[in-house]
Amino acid sequence: MFCFQCQEAAGGRGCTIRGVCGKNEGVAKLQDLLIYTLKGISDVVVKGKIKKDELESLNPEMFSSLFMTITNANFDADAIENQIKKMISVRDRLKEKAEAVDFHDAATFQVNSREEMLEKAGTIGVLATENEDIRSLREMIIYGIKGMAAYAEHAKNIGKEDPEVSNFIYEALAATLDDSLTVDQLVSLTLKTGEHGVKVMALLDEANTSKYGNPEITEVNIGVRNNPAILVSGHDLTDLEQLLEQTKGTGVDVYTHGEMLPAHYYPYFKKYDNFVGNYGNSWWKQLSEFETFNGPILFTTNCIVPPRNEDVRKRIFTTGSSGYPGCKHIEADENGKKDFSEIIELAKTLPAPAEIESGSIVGGFAHNQVMALADKVVDAVKSGAIKKFFVMAGCDGRMKSREYYTEFAKKLPSDTVILTAGCAKYRYNKLNLGDIGGIPRVLDAGQCNDSYSLAVIALKLKEVFGLDDINKLPIAYNIAWYEQKAVIVLLALLYLGVKNIHLGPTLPSFLSPNVAKVLVKEFGISGIGTVEEDIEAFMG
């Protein structure tokens, strides 16, 4: 196996024996083959000039296949094998409708058993592209596409689609098979990926807010009540909605974990009085936090940490693109309905969660809420009460070096405000950093996809201050990344023209030295240094 798609890639180079994430060689190879199959489908769609309406039923399968290969989303070899088989048969049916052309091997290969799949996978992985710059760009595009597909899937679950996004996914995946493309062409495709990243985040924002209302300032309880309860993790709000509907009046409470925290900011979910609060912290703390939670856990997406404790494993359920061997997977019916009764029944037999924290945290600063405070914010900037905003969106992770972000937040001058989104926030959202004239110093917009809100806020401020360049705003970007959704967020920011982003805790292993040079030269991207030096440089 060879995988270097996330920030925790072994030795900063790539995982070769087993993933640091816990992914074993078989799963890694099957994921590679699934991606290869999707490239083959894209080859058929693009070269075979498949009509757009043929793609309607294919799009959601593409999204969920891509999503299954995101870091920490799906560890279930059987589920991935089944998806490969399904996508190969989809591919072959599609070929019958295609105008006859020469298709790539990805569109024609056949495998009849797990063994044949693993053998084939050994020949088509990341390292099959020999030129390291081409490999770097191809992979960066593919990782961006994975993040894009995840967001497209959430939007689709709410009934929103953007054909430009789905069409681009085929176009870009097919391009990663094209040996005639030059480095320059792939660089421009990378930016085009960012352009579609903006589109998909806008789409998901529209989907979420049209269905669940605009996030608003909300105090979220981080303590517990004395009822049996279910913990829901991941990013999918439609799963949460169904779970809340089904637990209503059952005496079973629902808590969020990790990236589901921002669900509390939406007006729609406030009507459920069994929707109690957020339990615990970011994804990587789940091993201990699931133990003390006591009740069942529902994963709607990444990030899953392989459970070590048998008792906890028995309480874990997955749905959507997530999966873990030995954990029950809840499928949707043809109308998207999911039956969570087994989880609810299990919850009733288990003790209430043990308290690990108490009090509350505040969030809900997505674009609409911040715009409602715009006068206040603009005045604070004009009067000098706020000197600078720091966008510290992105992911959290296990590495010790991420303590940098807590220290950074603590040491920032008191006339600065942190704008955050994604699970990166857990590094500083409980520090009590105070407020500036009633504006909290940590403004959480929501999930990683709500980084879109931070971009909207920046563009709005640019307008208000009458600036011709987004980079003239008093906003600095110090972003933490882990998995591929952060890749699409980053590419989206680059597309929007944001310069001088600091990216940490380490730069991606998938950047070849030459590709890294392009990012430094064209966009001013850099890594992180020490907290003191970085703050000085940012404030100077």
Task: Give the binding site for ligand SF3 (CB under 6 A).
Answer: 258-259, 283, 302-303, 395, 422-423, 447-448, 482-483, 485-486
Residue 20 near which of ligand SF4, ligand SF3, none (CB within 5-8 Å, type-dependent): ligand SF4
Nearest partner of 362 among 438, 303, 413, 292, judged by Cα: 438
Taken in order 320, 321, 322, 325, the sign of the CA dihedral is: positive
Chain Cα centroid distance, residue 296: 23
What DSSP state is assigned to residue 219? Answer: E
Residue 486 near which of ligand SF3, ligand SF4, none (CB within 5-8 Å, type-dependent): ligand SF3
**Three-class secondary structure of residue 442 per DSSP:** strand
Residue 486 beta carbon to ligand SF4: minimum distance, rounded to whole angstroms: 12
Nearest partner of 52 among 164, 204, 156, judged by Cα: 164
Residue 448 near which of ligand SF4, ligand SF3, none (CB within 5-8 Å, type-dependent): ligand SF3
CB closer to ligand SF3 out of 261 and 370: 261
Residue 313 beta carbon to ligand SF4: minimum distance, rounded to whole angstroms: 20
Residue 178 beta carbon to ligand SF3: minimum distance, rounded to whole angstroms: 30
Residue 202 near which of ligand SF4, ligand SF3, none (CB within 5-8 Å, type-dependent): none
Q: Which two tokens stand for residue 465?
A: 């201050």
Specify the amino acid at residue 372: A
CB closer to ligand SF3 out of 242 and 256: 256
Residue 259 near which of ligand SF4, ligand SF3, none (CB within 5-8 Å, type-dependent): ligand SF3
Residue 195 beta carbon to ligand SF4: minimum distance, rounded to whole angstroms: 26
Residue 512 beta carbon to ligand SF3: minimum distance, rounded to whole angstroms: 23
What is the distance between the alpha carbons of residues 139 and 509, in angstroms, rounded to a whole number? 11
Where does residue 30 rank: exposed (0-12), middle (13-18), buried (19+ CB within 10 A)? buried
CB closer to ligand SF3 out of 423 and 498: 423
Nearest partner of 318 among 337, 338, 348, judged by Cα: 338
CB closer to ligand SF4 out of 8 and 289: 8
Residue 126 beta carbon to ligand SF4: minimum distance, rounded to whole angstroms: 10
Residue 15 beta carbon to ligand SF4: minimum distance, rounded to whole angstroms: 3
CB closer to ligand SF3 out of 142 and 421: 421
Q: Using CB under 6 A, list all residues that contact ligand SF4.
A: 3-6, 8-9, 15, 19-21, 23, 28, 71
**Strands 388-391 and 416-420: what pairing?**
parallel
Residue 4 near which of ligand SF3, ligand SF4, none (CB within 5-8 Å, type-dependent): ligand SF4
Total residue length of the chain: 540
What is the distance between the alpha carbons of residues 203 and 183, in angstroms, rounded to a whole number? 30
Q: Which residue number is nearest to ligand SF4 in terms of Cβ?
A: 19
What is the distance between the alpha carbons of residues 526 and 361, in angstroms, rounded to a whole number? 31
Residue 19 near which of ligand SF3, ligand SF4, none (CB within 5-8 Å, type-dependent): ligand SF4
Residue 4 beta carbon to ligand SF4: minimum distance, rounded to whole angstroms: 5
Residue 303 near which of ligand SF4, ligand SF3, none (CB within 5-8 Å, type-dependent): ligand SF3
Contact 419, 391 (CB under 8 A): yes
**Three-class secondary structure of residue 243 per DSSP:** helix
CB closer to ligand SF3 out of 436 and 448: 448
Token pair 């008191």: residue: 414
Chain Cα centroid distance, residue 177: 25
Rounding to the nearest 10 degrees, give the CA dihedral for residues 238, 486, 70, 164.
70
